[in-house]
Structures are given as C-alpha cells and as structure tokens.
Amino acid sequence: MNEHFHSWLSGERGAAMPAPQPSPANEARPVSLAGRGQPYGGKKKGGSMSFQRVLRFFATGVLLPAVCLALPNHAAPADLSAQAAQKEKTLPALPAPGTYTIDPDHTFVYFGAWHHVVGLVRGRFEKVEGTLTVAPDPQACAVDITIDAASITTQNRERDEDLRGPDFFDVKKFPAMTYRGRGIHRTSGGSWLLEGSLTIRGVTKVVPLTFTFKGTFPDTPPGKPARVAFHGSAATSRTDFGMIRDNALELGVPPARGSDVAIEIDIEADATNPRH
C-alpha cells in the first residue's frame, strides 16, 4: 500500500490525501484517424463513422477497379489459345489437288551436322527444284525433289570445298541428290508423314519427312497461279551414305537416335496443273 495513503488512513496529523492514481478510465485513448482528438466510439461527428466511410471509399475507389482490371488478364491466355485452336481447325490440311512446281528462289534446304559431339555446323543447298503432287487420296500424293550437291554452303570456302570432295558429297561423281516418295499419312500431332527415299552419293535410304501445309498465298494477283507453302523436317546419319571421315564419337548422336544430321526445308510452289 502507498506509504502516504497509509498515513492518511491512520489519522496521522499533517498527512495529505494521496494524489489519485492513473486508472484505465483516465488512460489516454486511441485517437481516431477521422476525428482529431476523438477516441474510437466517440459520438462526435467525424469519429468512427467517418473512419468507416474512408474505408468504404478506399475499397470502392481503389480495390474494385484493381480487381476489374486484373480479371481480363487471366482470361486473355485462354482466349488466345482458343482463337489459335479455332484458326488451326479452319486451315485446310492440304492445298487444292494438282501439281505444284517448286520455286527455287523461295525454297530453302538447311542442315545441321554435329561437330565433335558438342558443336554444330549449319549449312544449306542453294539450288533446289522439283514438283509436289496433291491428290484427294493421301496415298496418291507425291514428292520429287532434286538438289544440286555442289551448291552446298556453310559460309566457309575451305570447308565447302572439302564437303564437295570425295570424302563427303563427291559432287564430280554424284552431282545431284534426290528425295522422292509417294503416299502420306497423318501423325498424332496433326502433321503429315512421308516415307520418302533420299539418295546421296548413289546410296538410297528411307528417310521419313514430317511436314505441314502452311497455307495458300492470300494475295495472288488475278490470272496468276496459286502459290502454296510447306515446312518439313527430317533426320539422317552420314554413315548411311558413306561419309565416315569424322570423329567417330559424333556419328550417330542426337538430334535423333541413330542420326547426326538434322534437315529443315521450306518450300514455296506454284500450281501448274490444278485439278477441279
């Protein structure tokens, strides 16, 4: 018990009544953000009711627009995917039946050959010609392509001359390479597969070609033949065609099991004998 308070109760002369001690009722109360100096729960205008209005204003004016702006962003990817899928469904699987002549100036045959296992040498053949036959029956569709072996380029003159030599394409003895095939069928991914035959250095091997029809040019001038575009890819092995003058470790490694050369081809071709 407080010493001064005890003296006052005992009636000691001169004892003064002790000063009141702070109580919960006298403690400082929290101040409202809305009403300066007013405690939460005060009845004076500008108290908790004003604070609640501030909260409501914040929620309506800031949070709600933020939520509304965020909603379209979540829906966009799904919408884009649906549009892409719908567009793919509307594209024809193949062009109109007929014979199409390859345009050499807009047809590109690229390759990538593995170099010392971890490296890759890229190149292309600059002279390509041939025809594509499209028929209502996929088994009657055909490809006949001829490539000038001497037109190889890897952007290195010394290497290109070596590749034209007897250890590789031997262009003096075998000036042309061919790819021919008949009959196509759908793959699980929706592309087409042709089990064509590739001939290099007089050796012929079956090399499957996976390809897609990219469409018909929409801006062909009146009176001009329809122009179509295709993209294809394949893989093969140099050893299949007697090209073995290399690091043995790099022969028969990826891009595919048993293959060490990847092939890409982009074709543009004009209708020369359309069928109706």
Selection from 181, 176, 203, 200 nearest residue 192 by Cα = 181
94 compared with 42, residue with greater pLDDT: 94
Burial 14-34 (b: 16+ CB within 10 A, else e): eeeeeeeeeeeeeeeeeebeb
Stretch 226-255: mean pLDDT, rounded?
Answer: 87
Confidence at residue 189, expressed as pLDDT on a 0 to 100 scale: 84
Domain boundaries, the chain: 1-90, 98-274
Q: In the structure, what pLDDT confidence band is assigned to residue 43 with cuts at 50, 70 and 90? A: very low
Residue with tokens 């809305």: 34
Q: Tell me the pLDDT tens digit for each residue of 175-211.
A: 999 999 999 999 988 899 999 999 999 999 999 999 9
Q: Is the pLDDT assigned to residue 14 strictly greater than 70?
A: no
Q: Is the pLDDT assigned to residue 76 strictly greater than 80?
A: no
Confidence at residue 178, expressed as pLDDT on a 0 to 100 scale: 98
Nearest-angstrom CA–CA distance, 26 and 71: 51
Cα angle at 113 between 125 and 170, to 5 degrees? 55
Nearest-angstrom CA–CA distance, 257 and 186: 22
* Fold of the domain built from segment(s) 98-274: Lipocalin (2.40.128)
Name residue 153's amino acid.
T
Q: How far is CA 51 from the centre of its chain?
A: 51
Residue with tokens 């592309």: 191
